[in-house]
Amino acid sequence: MKPAPFRYVAAESLEHALAAKANEGEDAKFLAGGQSLVPAMNFRLAQPATLIDLNGLANLDDVRTEGGALRIGALARHRRIERDPLVARHAPLLAEAAPHVAHPQIRNRGTLCGNLAHADPASEFPAVVLALGARMRVRSTRGERWVGASDFFRGVFTTALAPDEMLVEVELPPVPARTGTCFLEVARRRGDYALVGVATVVTLGADGKVASARVALCNAGVTPVLVAVDDLDGAPEQVRKAIDPPENVHATGAFRRHLAGVLTRRALAAALERAGRAA
């Protein structure tokens, strides 16, 4: 199929893009990687009146550190996330999850910010930024604001973005000392959405004992799900009780719940081992 007719706007600046969005509101969509939007348009599941193409804009694809935090711009591609040494050093959990996202052709075009704004609960990156306590910088012609990852995802394909706002940057806070992370998922085929994916963060105290542990899951509910773990031994059962995974032809909800517990145990063990090496 072909998309419904739409007006095309090649943004000349970020201000131009935001002004176009303010004029059109929900009838306009930003085009960055287009790896989710364009297929939806071809099937006419999405029929925006206007496409605002961001790809000609400079300085939106940067990956940099500021005040110890890692900042990733709106046009930074998945492939950049997968290979950039700054990401590997400051957010290894994000780098570890990146190869699980679809296929190389899609990672060459898709963007982190576009992925997060799409808010597919089956996608890996929303769970990862939730586990890492990320903040989203959003802008409109009215100004800018920061939204925490825990407040950003509202439902299936639904975020805290207002109709005139754009997600322009993601900020990942510095990883504390003596911290280990791990991402694991199970998919039916390489490149498929995960049946369940688990992102874990474990931080040790000065005494070598676990000071904090967090688990975030994808495809376990209508949004990515964050669980602050009370103790590592009881974490699998705690996670199983906290999630409400979908049921479809690929897996029952009961199987996904069981799988979430197994992956949680394995991912926490790996994160704990890595935290010990980082101490």
pLDDT on residue 98:
98
pLDDT on residue 47:
96
Class of domain 179-278: alpha beta
| Structure token pair of residue 50 | 């206007």
Residues 6+ apart with CB under 8 A from 46: 29, 37, 40
pLDDT on residue 273:
98
Residues of the chain with CATH 3.30.465.10: 63-172
Residues of the chain with CATH 3.30.43.10: 7-53
pLDDT on residue 181:
98
pTM: 0.97
Residues of the chain with CATH 3.30.390.50: 179-278
Low-confidence ranges of the chain (pLDDT < 70): none
CATH 3.30.43.10 fits 7-53, yes or no: yes
Residues 6+ apart with CB under 8 A from 246: 219, 221, 253, 256
pLDDT on residue 203:
98
Tell me the C-alpha distance between 169 and 184, whole Å. Answer: 25
pLDDT on residue 188:
93
pLDDT on residue 266:
98
Class of domain 63-172: alpha beta
pLDDT on residue 275:
98
| Structure token pair of residue 264 | 């949680």
Per-residue model confidence as pLDDT tens digits over 198-255: 999 999 999 999 999 999 999 999 999 999 999 999 999 999 999 999 999 999 999 9
pLDDT on residue 9:
98
pLDDT on residue 134:
98
Q: In what order do the strands lie in the sheet with 210-218?
A: 179-187, 194-204, 210-218, 225-228
CA nearest to 203, candidates 63, 72, 93: 93
